[in-house]
């Protein structure tokens, strides 16, 4: 090629093109080989065959955390950013060269699903940076290890394998995982270890972790679950009651699931089963001591011995306390006496009774207070059909409203007594099986069944007799015929025709007056009425001394009748 006497810039470019084989325009953006011609301070001077040399920082030739080992004459690959800068030097980059070469290799490995080697060299938000032979990748914090790692420093600057999860060359984005490698390695190890294990095998292990439902035991590279129910035959509320992290324990392999690689372990299987022969050891009806281990809404569990618990149902806890929470009868860790009600060895269940181990208060009451005996108690409650009386032994007896007072029933009889009042009654019947005691109060009054017969007392229905007030009550008057005659009751509505006359308080104990026998109750006790006597006398007076058309007033007729009666 001919050149002029005074070459121009274009002439130099042409000469360079000729020297480089005409590819100078394609040099930029390529990785080329060069030779180190000098090392100046922290820069390496590299000749790549261009018209000028380039300078590259020495740190770009060093692996993360290491020093560059570079000397004059070494051949290296660099990336040409520009053939010439404003200073006339070539702009070269070792990092870009390594990165471009690494990307080519990584894309091939990623497509094949192979592992790649890298070095964790920095920390960024949410994870770490990894050098993959020149390409920088992101390692999320969750992908560092199988379990959370508090200190990553021991893993820094250490060559180790990684799995590429995602890569985008256009954006320069690579995401890798160390955890995937560990899980894969662990799975391979587990598979190998499981092949050497058999169900029923006894092996030693180390407790690695404790949860609410059990403990994980390391069997030498593979973990097994020791469930809380398989720790012991006795009740264990939490595994920490029996185990500590780091403990060496002897366990039996209960079950192996080779598909999911899960292993179930047991400790109680190495002990003798306390349920063997339980039916003979705990005969029905026997009374044994036990400790309350747990209380629920439906009852309480009582431990008879280590590994054997029975349930006391709430209905079997007390003879007298009904519909109360078991926690109000017994407390956790309390020692109690219980009776054996049922034993099912196959289902490992024992039904217990707390009240059966105590004396039956109903039977004790029946023995101490036979029918006909007199008792005293407090009115506990009033219902629409009678009164409940509290008796000794914490039992209740009921007085039916028809047995409260002679001549009264319903609300009138119930209103005679109030809650908290001490009353006396007679025992009418005791049903131990049904836990019922029937009482009567009117049977204690004078003029009871034996004295209140119509013929024996000499009174007849419709007869007017003179009675004496025995007791003044809100509901009426308790009266007696003569000094020792039949007793009966006059309801307040029968004390007179007018409302003002129907006040029991206008009478006094011992006061005598006339009343009519209006009938007899079930016990043939007479019922009296002043009102009925007044009506009968009025009718009689009208019949004898006047008529509806005689023109005489009712006052005139009654006045005349009184004169005749008094004369």
Q: Does 396 score more than 80 pLDDT?
A: yes
103, two tokens: 């990307």
What is residue 138's predicted lDDT score, i.e. its pLDDT? 95
Contact status, residue 338 vs residue 350, Cβ threshold 8 Å: no
CA atoms within 13 A on the CB side of 145: 8
Q: What is the pLDDT of residues 28-69, one digit of tens each?
A: 767 778 887 888 887 878 777 777 777 878 777 776 667 777
Q: Using pLDDT thresholds of 50, 70 and 90, give the confidence band for residue 22.
A: very low
DSSP string, 254-308: EEEETTTTEEEEESGGGS--TTTTHHHHS-TT-EEEEEEEEEETTEEEEEEETTE
Rounded to an integer, the average pLDDT of 428-434 is 87
Q: Which residues of 316-348 are buried (b: 16+ CB within 10 A; e: fewer)?
A: bbbbeeeeeebeebbeeeeebebbbbebeeeee
CA separation for the pair 393, 318 (Å, rounded)? 12
Q: Using pLDDT thresholds of 50, 70 and 90, give the confidence band for residue 551.
A: very low
Highest mean pLDDT among 144-153, 325-334, 356-365, 409-418: 325-334
What is residue 560's predicted lDDT score, i.e. its pLDDT? 57
Contact status, residue 441 vs residue 477, Cβ threshold 8 Å: no
Tell me the CA distances in angstroms from 550 to 507, 537, 563, one per residue in order.
38, 19, 19
What is residue 409's predicted lDDT score, i.e. its pLDDT? 67
Q: What is the pLDDT of residues 232-241, one digit of tens each?
A: 888 888 999 8
- Label residue 472 exposed, middle or buried (CB < 10 Å: 0-12, 13-18, 19+): middle
CA separation for the pair 272, 308 (Å, rounded)? 12
Q: What is the pLDDT of residues 248-274, one digit of tens each?
A: 999 999 998 877 778 899 998 888 888
Higher pLDDT, 462 or 25: 462
CA separation for the pair 99, 45 (Å, rounded)? 20
Rounded to an integer, the average pLDDT of 152-163 is 90
Contact status, residue 407 vs residue 491, Cβ threshold 8 Å: yes
Contact status, residue 174 vs residue 164, Cβ threshold 8 Å: yes
Q: For the chain, which domains are there?
A: 9-97 (2.40.50.140), 113-183 (2.40.50.140), 197-270 (2.40.50.140), 286-357 (2.40.50.140), 373-444 (2.40.50.140), 458-545 (2.40.50.140)
- Quote the pTM value: 0.43
What is residue 21's predicted lDDT score, i.e. its pLDDT? 44
Q: Which residues of 408-418 are buried (b: 16+ CB within 10 A; e: fewer)?
A: bbeebbbebbe
| CA angle (283, 288, 289) in 5-degree steps | 155
What is residue 299's predicted lDDT score, i.e. its pLDDT? 92
The side-by-side arrangement of strands in the sheet containing 31-40 is 54-57, 43-47, 31-40, 75-82, 91-93
Q: What is the pLDDT of residues 105-144, one digit of tens each?
A: 888 889 998 999 999 999 999 999 998 887 889 999 999 9
Task: Work out the percent of the chain whose per-residue pLDDT is above 90.
Answer: 25
What is residue 548's predicted lDDT score, i.e. its pLDDT? 46
- Label residue 427 exposed, middle or buried (CB < 10 Å: 0-12, 13-18, 19+): buried
Q: Determine how many CB atoms are found less than 10 A away from the CB of residue 352.
A: 29
What is residue 563's predicted lDDT score, i.e. its pLDDT? 57
Higher pLDDT, 338 or 135: 338
Q: Using pLDDT thresholds of 50, 70 and 90, give the confidence band for residue 450.
A: very low
What is the average pLDDT score of the chain?
82
Q: Using pLDDT thresholds of 50, 70 and 90, give the confidence band for residue 524.
A: low
Q: Determine how many CB atoms are found less than 10 A away from the CB of residue 531.
A: 20
| CA angle (26, 32, 33) in 5-degree steps | 150
């Amino acid at each position: 090629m001919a050149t002029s006497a005074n070459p121009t810039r274009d002439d130099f470019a042409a000469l360079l093109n000729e020297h480089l084989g005409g590819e100078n325009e394609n040099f930029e953006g390529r990785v080329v080989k060069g030779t180190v011609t000098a090392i100046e301070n922290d820069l390496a001077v590299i000749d790549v065959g261009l018209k000028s040399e380039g300078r590259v920082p020495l740190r770009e030739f060093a692996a993360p955390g290491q020093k560059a080992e570079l000397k004059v004459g070494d051949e290296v690959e660099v990336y040409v950013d520009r053939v010439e800068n404003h200073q006339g030097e070539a702009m070269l980059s070792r990092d870009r060269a390594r990165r471009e070469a690494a990307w080519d290799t990584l894309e091939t490995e990623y497509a094949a699903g192979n592992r790649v080697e890298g070095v964790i060299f920095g920390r960024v938000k949410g994870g770490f940076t990894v050098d993959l032979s020149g390409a920088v990748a992101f390692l999320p914090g969750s992908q560092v290890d199988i379990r959370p790692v508090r200190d990553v420093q021991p893993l820094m600057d250490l060559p180790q394998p990684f799995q590429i999860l995602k890569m985008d060359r256009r954006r320069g984005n690579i995401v890798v995982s160390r955890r995937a490698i560990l899980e894969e390695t662990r799975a391979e190890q587990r598979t190998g270890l499981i092949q050497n294990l058999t169900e029923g095998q006894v092996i030693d292990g180390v407790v690695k972790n404790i949860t609410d439902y059990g403990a994980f035991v390391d069997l030498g590279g593979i973990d097994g679950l020791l469930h809380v129910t398989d720790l012991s035959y006795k009740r264990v509320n939490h595994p920490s009651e029996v185990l500590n992290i780091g403990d060496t324990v002897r366990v039996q392999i209960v079950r192996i699931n080779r598909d999911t690689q899960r292993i179930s372990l047991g400790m109680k299987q190495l002990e003798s089963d306390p349920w063997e022969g339980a039916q003979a050891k705990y005969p029905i009806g026997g009374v044994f001591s036990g400790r309350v281990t747990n209380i629920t809404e439906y009852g309480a569990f009582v431990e008879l011995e280590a590994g054997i618990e029975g349930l006391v149902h709430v209905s079997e806890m007390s003879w007298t306390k009904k519909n109360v929470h078991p926690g109000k009868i017994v407390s956790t860790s309390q020692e109690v006496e219980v009776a054996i009600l049922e034993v099912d060895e196959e289902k490992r269940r024992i039904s217990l009774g707390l009240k059966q181990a105590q004396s039956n208060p109903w039977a004790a009451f029946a023995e101490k207070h036979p029918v006909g005996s007199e008792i005293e108690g407090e009115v506990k409650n009033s219902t629409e059909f009678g009164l409940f009386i509290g008796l000794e032994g914490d039992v209740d007896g009921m007085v039916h409203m028809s047995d409260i007072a002679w001549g009264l029933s319903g609300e009138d009889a119930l209103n005679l007594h109030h809650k908290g009042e001490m009353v006396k009654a007679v025992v009418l019947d005791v049903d131990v099986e049904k836990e019922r005691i029937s009482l009567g109060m009117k049977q204690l009054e004078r003029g009871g069944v034996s004295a209140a017969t119509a013929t024996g007392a000499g009174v007849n229905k419709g007869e007017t007799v003179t009675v004496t007030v025995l007791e003044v009550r809100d509901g009426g008057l308790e009266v007696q015929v003569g000094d020792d005659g039949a007793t009966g009751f006059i309801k307040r509505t029968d004390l007179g025709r007018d409302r003002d006359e129907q006040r029991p308080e206008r009478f006094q104990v011992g006061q005598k007056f006339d009343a009519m026998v209006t009938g007899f109750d079930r016990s043939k006790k007479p019922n009296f009425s002043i009102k009925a006597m007044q009506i009968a006398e009025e009718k009689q007076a009208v019949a004898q001394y006047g008529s509806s058309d005689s023109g005489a007033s009712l006052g005139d007729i009654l006045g005349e009748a009184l004169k005749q009666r008094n004369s």
